[in-house]
Amino acid sequence: MRYPILLAVVVFLALAAFAQEANNISSSNSAGVVVSGSTEAREPLPLQQPQDFWNGDDPNLVNLITHPFANQKYVRRQVAPIRDRIDELEQITSENSLLIKQVDARAQKDVQLASEKATLAEQHAAEASNKAQLAQTAANEASARVGLAGQMVGNLDQYTGSAQTEIRFHPGQTVLSKTAKDALDEMVAPLKGRHGYLIEVRGFAAGQAQAAIRSSQKMADSVVRYLVLTHDIPMYRIHTLSVGNAAVTREAKHSSSTRVEVSVFKNDSVTAAQR
């Protein structure tokens, strides 16, 4: 009879030691759990220290035999803290997923905005390049025009004689005859609407000193007045010289010393530019 009781005591002590060891291992594993991905540090699971040998069970024969084994109450006590942490972990995972989606949406928006700015910058660069090319073209055209204008200015004084006529007067006379008017009309007819020409009117008269100059001046003025009033020749295109009898002795070929010589000078470069 003593041997079965002794055997039961030995088995009981062995089972109690095994259950205590399993309880310590479970508590150690629970204490080492760390929730990853949480935004805040989590407290470790509390150690489940047995209060006494019975650990909340009723001290009776049934619990004496079944206490070392895992019953429903024991399992619930051990699993409840772990289930709470699992719920927390699921909540943290859900929050982290939402944050990741928000960060990804902001990143995509920033990338799109940067792409739009880059495209706009490329458009501005292309417009600036086009404007620079247009400005260069305009500068080249302006340079060419300046060169042409400089050439024209350089040729402004390049006048050559194109026509000449002689208007003769009787001594003391200043009125133009019909023959004189016809000669002037024929000479200035090609000048109508033209530019780049000058008309030189030189008066000659016989006599002495100032009297000859005044007489030649009156004859020259008569010719100029006819050109201005009849043919609308601008005064700035007419150059008048009253030389009196200065050229009479040098020009013996002229049969009359009382005359007005009218010469037309043209600038071929201005005439070509006008065409």
3-59 pLDDT per residue, tens: 455 555 555 555 555 555 545 545 544 444 444 444 455 565 555 555 555 566 666
> What is the structure's pLDDT at 74?
65
Helices (H), the chain: 2-31, 61-66, 72-154, 178-188, 209-231, 268-274
> What is the structure's pLDDT at 172?
80
- Burial annotation 25-43 (CB, 10 A radius, 16+ → b, else e): ebbeebeeeeeeeeeeeee
> What is the structure's pLDDT at 267?
80
> What is the structure's pLDDT at 249?
47
Domain final residue, candidates 71, 97, 123: 97
> What is the structure's pLDDT at 35?
41
Nearest to 270 by CA among 163, 162, 154, 189: 154
Q: What is the pLDDT of residues 180-239, one digit of tens each?
A: 999 999 999 998 888 888 999 999 988 887 888 899 999 999 999 999 999 999 999 999
> What is the structure's pLDDT at 100?
93
Assigned domain for 42 exists: yes
Give the global pTM. Answer: 0.44
Residue 84 sits in the same domain as residue 164: no
> What is the structure's pLDDT at 236?
92
Q: Determine the Cα–Cα distance for residues 154 and 126; give it in Å rounded to an integer.
A: 42
Assigned domain for 223 exists: yes
> What is the structure's pLDDT at 38?
45
Assign 159 a pLDDT band (cuts: 50, 70, 90). Answer: confident
Compute, in degrees rounded to 10, the torsion defined by CA atoms 45, 50, 54, 58. Answer: -50
Q: How many domains does the chain have?
A: 2
> What is the structure's pLDDT at 29?
47
Q: Determine the Cα–Cα distance for residues 269 and 158; give it in Å rounded to an integer.
A: 8
User: What is the DSSP code (8-state) at residue 192?
Assistant: T
Assigned domain for 187 exists: yes
> What is the structure's pLDDT at 52?
58
> What is the structure's pLDDT at 40?
54
- Give the CA distances from residue 52 to residues 32, 56, 196, in Å, rounded to whole numbers and listed in that order: 24, 8, 132
Give the max Cα distance, the chain.
Answer: 190
Domain final residue, candidates 51, 75, 97: 97
Q: What is the pLDDT of residues 243-265, one digit of tens each?
A: 888 755 444 444 467 899 999 99
Do residues 269 and 226 lie in contact, with contact meaning Cβ atoms separated by under 8 Å?
A: no
Do residues 206 and 258 lie in contact, with contact meaning Cβ atoms separated by under 8 Å?
A: yes
Assigned domain for 111 exists: no
Q: What is the pLDDT of residues 82-110, one digit of tens each?
A: 888 888 888 899 999 999 999 999 999 99
Q: Count the neighbouring beta carbons within 10 Å of the beta carbon of residue 242.
A: 21
Q: Determine the Cα–Cα distance for residues 236 and 229; give it in Å rounded to an integer.
A: 14
Instruction: Provide the residue range defining the domain that includes 93.
Output: 2-97
User: What is the DSSP code (8-state) at residue 161?
Assistant: E
> What is the structure's pLDDT at 25?
47
pLDDT over 80 (residue 79): no
Assigned domain for 241 exists: yes
Assigned domain for 129 exists: no
Do residues 193 and 271 lie in contact, with contact meaning Cβ atoms separated by under 8 Å?
A: no
CATH number at residue 200: 3.30.1330.60
User: What is the DSSP code (8-state) at residue 55?
Assistant: T
Q: What is the pLDDT of residues 111-145, one digit of tens each?
A: 999 989 999 999 999 999 999 999 998 888 888 88
Assigned domain for 143 exists: no
Domain final residue, candidates 68, 97, 126: 97
The residue length of the chain stands at 275
Assigned domain for 132 exists: no
